[in-house]
Amino acid sequence: MAVVRTCLLKVLSHRRNRNPLVSYLSHSPPPLTTTTTAASTTTTTTTPMHSFTLSASLSTSHTTTRSKPMCLYHTQGKCTKMDDLIHLDKFNHDCSRDLQVNIADLNKIRSQNLDFFLVLDLEGKVEILEFPVLMINAKTLHVEDIFHRFVRPSKMTEQIINEYIEGKYGKIGVDRVWHDTAIPFTEVIDEFEAWLMQQKLWIGGELNRAAFVTCGNWDLKTKVPQQCEVSRMKLPLYFMEWINLKDIYLNFYNRRATGMVTMMKELQIPLVGSHHLGIDDTKNIARVLQHMLIDGALVQITARKNARSPQDVNFLFKNRIR
């Protein structure tokens, strides 16, 4: 009996230790699991857990619940499986899930000059491949809405497009959804403008109490104008000014950050999703923005194009990242 009892105890102990939640609560933290965002494929990699204290701006609820990849058909309004319980159990359909804030921290936020921040992070070096925007409320830090489109290049052969997408998205299992949903940049902009008007952010002339937030100047200073030229369209007026979060970071914390990952490490914010998947990078930039707002930062326009000569940019901060 003693031998049987000992074996039973070992089996029960093994089963308890297989439960990551029990292990997390009872022992030292397990390795941090990062789930690659995909539409129909989930790739999981494990990296060592670094010692950190979660940002006050971030809810800790996601650290004790099963991580789900984002349904990228859903982010583009094209998910046809919203009544499929297996699909709903496997994929996340709530873009705000990783961007929850503690209500008690909201009284730390300074009064801002803007009502909404449009966090943008483009993907694609040759032509734009992905156009994601998160609309963040400047007072509540809540994700009000999302606009996300994959973009089909207009000046490439199908063979080059396939190679481009395989190299960019194939390794994270997002190539299929890209091919299924990507549309030309001109159509993306038409849909984006309709979205802006629906949100009452754009009525012509300039954005209404809102501004784009980017991690660097490249997205709106360089890439969008280049893409507009390739797509033979005029640069929309709402792309004439933006907030470079790296400049805000430098002036607020008096620390120079080279990019999103550096800011997240310094602020001890864990990375979510897949780096260089635009929608995930946009969420991570938004997490940095939330942290800075709760720390008391004033987030304001850092760069503005010359209306008569859009290639000329006036940088409004003397102390800035070059």
- Asked if the structure places residue 169 within a domain, the reply is no
- Asked if the structure places residue 322 within a domain, the reply is no
- How much is the pLDDT for 206? 81
Q: CATH code at 260?
A: 3.30.420.10
In this structure, the dihedral spanned by the alpha carbons of residues 90, 95, 97 and 101, taken in order and rounded to 10 degrees, is 180
- Asked if the structure places residue 235 within a domain, the reply is yes
Q: What is the pLDDT of residues 145-160, one digit of tens each?
A: 999 999 999 999 999 9
- Asked if the structure places residue 321 within a domain, the reply is no
Which domain does 253 fall in, by range?
Answer: 51-61+72-155+176-315
Rounded mean pLDDT of 288-307? Answer: 96
Cα–Cα distance measured from residue 154 to residue 292, given in angstroms and rounded to the nearest whole number: 38
Structure tokens at 2: 């003693």
Asked if pLDDT for residue 5 goes beyond 50, the answer is no
pLDDT top residue among 141 and 66: 141
In this structure, the dihedral spanned by the alpha carbons of residues 98, 74, 148 and 114, taken in order and rounded to 10 degrees, is -50
Rounded mean pLDDT of 189-218? Answer: 94
Nearest one of 46, 17, 43 to 33, comparing CA atoms: 46
- Asked if the structure places residue 20 within a domain, the reply is no
Q: What is the pLDDT of residues 244-270, one digit of tens each?
A: 999 999 999 999 998 999 999 999 999
- How much is the pLDDT for 67? 67
- Number of structural domains, the chain? 1
pLDDT top residue among 36 and 161: 161
Strands (E), the chain: 32-35, 44-47, 116-120, 130-137, 143-152, 183-184, 210-214, 241-244, 303-305, 313-315
- Rg of the Cα trace of the chain? 22
Nearest one of 153, 150, 197 to 174, comparing CA atoms: 150
What is the percentage of the chain residues whose pLDDT exceeds 70? Answer: 79
Cα–Cα distance measured from residue 110 to residue 294, given in angstroms and rounded to the nearest whole number: 8
Catalytic residue among 74, 123, 127, 130: 123
Is position 193 annotated as part of the catalytic site?
A: no
pLDDT top residue among 224 and 11: 224
313: three-class secondary structure by DSSP: strand
Residue whose pair of structure tokens reads 């009064």 in the numeric block: 111
162: DSSP letter: H
- How much is the pLDDT for 96? 84
| Other beta carbons less than 10 A from residue 227's beta carbon | 24
- How much is the pLDDT for 46? 35
Structure tokens at 136: 């963040």
Q: pLDDT-derived band of residue 288, with 50, 70 and 90 as boundaries?
A: very high
Is position 74 annotated as part of the catalytic site?
A: no
- How much is the pLDDT for 61? 35
In this structure, the dihedral spanned by the alpha carbons of residues 274, 277, 280 and 284, taken in order and rounded to 10 degrees, is 80
Cα–Cα distance measured from residue 146 to residue 119, given in angstroms and rounded to the nearest whole number: 10
Asked if pLDDT for residue 9 goes beyond 70, the answer is no
Asked if pLDDT for residue 10 goes beyond 80, the answer is no
Around 209, how many Cα atoms within 13 Å sit in the side-chain half-sphere? 11
pLDDT top residue among 311 and 3: 311
- Asked if the structure places residue 228 within a domain, the reply is yes
- Asked if the structure places residue 9 within a domain, the reply is no
Catalytic residue among 130, 144, 276, 291: 276
pTM reported for the whole predicted model: 0.79
Nearest one of 138, 271, 146 to 209, comparing CA atoms: 138
Residues 6 or more apart in contact with residue 8 via CB below 8 angstroms: none
Residue whose pair of structure tokens reads 């403008």 in the numeric block: 193
- How much is the pLDDT for 20? 30
What is the percentage of the chain residues whose pLDDT exceeds 90? Answer: 69
Q: pLDDT-derived band of residue 307, with 50, 70 and 90 as boundaries?
A: confident
pLDDT top residue among 297 and 10: 297
- Asked if the structure places residue 98 within a domain, the reply is yes
Q: What is the mean pLDDT of the chain?
A: 83
Residues 6 or more apart in contact with residue 182 via CB below 8 angstroms: 129, 149, 150, 151, 152
Q: What is the pLDDT of residues 46-72, one digit of tens each?
A: 333 332 223 333 433 333 334 688 899
Cα–Cα distance measured from residue 306 to residue 128, given in angstroms and rounded to the nearest whole number: 23
